[in-house]
Amino acid sequence: MNAPFPFSAVIGQDDLKLALLLATLDPTIGGVLLRGERGTAKSTAARGLAALLPGKPDGTPAPFVELPLGATEDRVVGSLDVESALREGRPRLRSGLLARAHGGVLYVDEVNLLPDHLVDLLLDAAAGGRITVERDGLSATEPAEFILLGSMNPEEGELRPQFLDRFGLHVEVRAPSEVALRVATIQARLAYDGAPEPFARQHAAAEEALRNRLAEARARLGALALSPALLTQASSLCAQLGLDGLRGDIVCAKAARALAAWEGHDEVTPDHLQRVAPFALGHRRRRKPRDPLPPAQSLPPPPAPPTQAAPASGHGIPPPQAAPAADAPALSLELPRNGSAAPGRREAGQGAPAGIIRAVPLCNDGTLALAPTLAAAAARGATVHDGRIGLRPADLRQHERRGRQAGRVLLIVDASGSMGAQRRLSLAKGVVLGLLDASYQRRDQVGLILVAGETAELRLPFTRRLEQAEAALRDVPTGGRTPLAHALQLAAGLCAGGPPACVVLLTDGRANVSPGGGDPWRETLTASATLAPALAGALVIDCEPGPVRIGRARELAAVLGAELLALDAIDAAQLTVRLRNRLLLP
């Protein structure tokens, strides 16, 4: 294996490198969340950091463990060693990825796409330094002290606020805008890719200097005291930002102390606190998490110190579900004879089948989980006879799969010169912003097509980003003709791939622009028929005014297989709730 890209050779990205070093100096800070687009040295810096850590007592380097996105709970936490149990009749536990990362770095790319319960397990282990494995009547506790580094691209969905809060530090990572820095970064990467070992040797002295500085800072860290005035200043800032709980106060103080140790100072000063505050507090702002922090100079003067503060509490790992009582043998299973790994055992880097989280006792409503079934049999003492093992009903396990996938809602809004355009736009804006506020937690996407002028406009491609939607909904033009057929054609192309999509169409149906030069209404119906099979659900809001109605919105609803509602019968809040509860797939 090639030497990792040296940490000291990472060009620019000063905030990223500093946050990683602070979390290395004091692992109780709770790890670092790296948030930014792809190709910004997040994983490169993470691998380089592991090479700076002290090695294990046996002389092996500190581990760098990368968590596969499709990993099951058994692989993360640990599982019964099925091969040993079945071949030797001695049940024992096999360590999971958390224990293997002990003394090193656990890196989770796209942490925002992990199932919530796995994120919870990672954060619990990072905070407690140990992991308890309970499987099929066996229990073991293993050390799991590691530096947790999670990376994510916000375009692919946000982390739930409760998980954001439990990451110690947070860094927004962006590619450098200066051309000279970009060129230098490319040159360094090309040099490393062409000759990794010589490139690593070229930076060996700088790497050793970093190791020595980290060792000196660790020795200095324990002697640095945090004054009551400084703690009060940290808490004052957290209170000013409206943060929940005390985790932000604690992390801010610890990070300031780590920075003072890193820079060789004998005391922790307000300057250290000001410089780490964006790392420690920026991601904890639950009210408006996307707003920037106040400038560091706005730290308030410390009032009288508080008399007491309650520590934040952690979360334990729930015990596994109890297995049903054993009973008579149900079937026998022939085991492989070719010396291959035990069923269900995966090579490093492989994930679980798509959507599978864990195994639970068989309820006859899922697919058989082979490896957990064998593990349950081995735990009660079953062994192999003539290449076969007898299974009992209580041994049987099935796959538990992921919950709902992210959904998409596409609003098609008639903003033409027909009456009520502003009312329709106001309703659409309320729905878009309401759904995106929920998608901060649910990871759903919202898009918007405007129907006005000679051609429809994709005003907002599918997104989860509230700020992008807010920008797209400012100064929306209205008036002109009604290219409804073109809007539905755009929608068909947009909904053809990706997660299931729901369409909300706000229109009076009075199409008067033909993309193909034919009859506008017939082309609209044709486009609707093309769109319908790609949808997970549809809703047509009839915006036709007056007592005399043509009824074209009703015809569109029939072709789309959509529910029909009158514009006056629903508001933005009601429509948002309806979409969350009825149209988005569970």
The H-or-E segment that residue 161 falls in is: helix 161-166
Which is it for strands 64-66 and 105-109: parallel, antiparallel or unpaired?
Answer: parallel
The CATH code that applies to domain 408-583 is: 3.40.50.410
Tokens of 188: 């360094």
Place of tokens 């074209």: 552
Q: Report the pLDDT value the prediction gives residue 186, as an integer from 0 to 100.
A: 93
SS3 letters for 533-564? HHEEEEEEEECCCCCCCCCHHHHHHHHHCCEE
* Cα separation, 262 vs 210, whole angstroms: 10
Contact 9, 53 (CB under 8 A): no
Q: Report the pLDDT value the prediction gives residue 364, as an integer from 0 to 100.
A: 52
Q: Where are the chain's structural domains?
A: 7-221, 223-286, 408-583
Contact 106, 67 (CB under 8 A): yes
Contact 373, 468 (CB under 8 A): no
Contact 136, 323 (CB under 8 A): yes
Which is it for strands 388-391 and 445-451: parallel, antiparallel or unpaired?
Answer: unpaired
Question: Which DSSP letter does residue 582 get?
Answer: I
Q: Report the pLDDT value the prediction gives residue 299, as an integer from 0 to 100.
A: 47
Domain 223-286: CATH class, spelled out = mainly alpha
Q: Which of 286, 309, 310, 304 is nearest to 233 (CA)?
A: 304
Catalytic residue, chosen from 247, 284, 392, 481, is 247
* Cα separation, 578 vs 572, whole angstroms: 10
Please name every residue paired with 286 in a beta bridge, in sequence order, or none if there are none. Answer: none
Q: Report the pLDDT value the prediction gives residue 324, as an integer from 0 to 100.
A: 36
| Helix (H/G/I), strand (E/B), else coil: 322 | coil
Q: Report the pLDDT value the prediction gives residue 402, as an integer from 0 to 100.
A: 53
Tokens of 493: 């192309």
Contact 16, 48 (CB under 8 A): no
Tokens of 469: 């939607």
According to CATH, the topology of domain 7-221 is: Rossmann fold (3.40.50)
Place of tokens 């943060």: 243
Q: How many CB atoms lie within 10 A of CB 240?
A: 12
* Cα separation, 113 vs 94, whole angstroms: 26
Give yes or no: 404 in active site. no
Contact 38, 176 (CB under 8 A): no
| Helix (H/G/I), strand (E/B), else coil: 141 | strand
SS3 letters for 230-286? HHHHHHHHHHHCCCCCCHHHHHHHHHHHHHHHHCCCCCCCHHHHHHHHHHHHHHHCC
- The helix-helix angle for 247-262 and 270-281 (nearest 10°) equals 130
Place of tokens 């439990």: 166
Q: Which of 163, 162, 149, 178 is nearest to 66 (CA)?
A: 149
Q: Report the pLDDT value the prediction gives residue 92, as an integer from 0 to 100.
A: 72
Q: Which of 490, 446, 494, 495 is nearest to 467 (CA)?
A: 446
Which ranges constitute the DSSP H helices of 411-560? 421-442, 466-472, 484-495, 520-531, 552-560
Q: Which residues contact 337 (CB under 8 A, 6 or more apart)?
A: 387
| Helix (H/G/I), strand (E/B), else coil: 580 | helix
Q: Report the pLDDT value the prediction gives residue 232, as an integer from 0 to 100.
A: 95
Distance between alpha carbon 402 and the CA centroid of its chain, in Å?
14
Q: Which residues contact 461 (CB under 8 A, 6 or more apart)?
A: 447, 494
Q: Which residues contact 532 (CB under 8 A, 6 or more apart)?
A: 538, 559, 560, 561
* Cα separation, 524 vs 508, whole angstroms: 12
Compute and round to an integer the Cα radius of gyration of the chain: 29
Fold agreement (7-221, 223-286): no
Cα–Cα–Cα angle for 173, 175, 180, nearest 5°?
140
Residues of the chain short of pLDDT 50, as ranges, are: 287-290, 294-329, 331-355, 403-404, 440-441, 583-586
Place of tokens 């040159």: 187
* Cα separation, 405 vs 585, whole angstroms: 8
For the CA atoms of 464, 466, 468, 473, what is the dihedral angle to 10 degrees?
Answer: 120
Q: Report the pLDDT value the prediction gives residue 560, as an integer from 0 to 100.
A: 92
Q: Which of 414, 459, 435 is nearest to 553 (CA)?
A: 414
Tokens of 525: 């119906």
* Cα separation, 11 vs 189, whole angstroms: 10
Would you mind telling me the total number of residues written for the chain in this entry? 586
Q: Which of 401, 414, 562 is nearest to 482 (CA)?
A: 414
Which is it for strands 457-463 and 501-507: parallel, antiparallel or unpaired?
Answer: unpaired
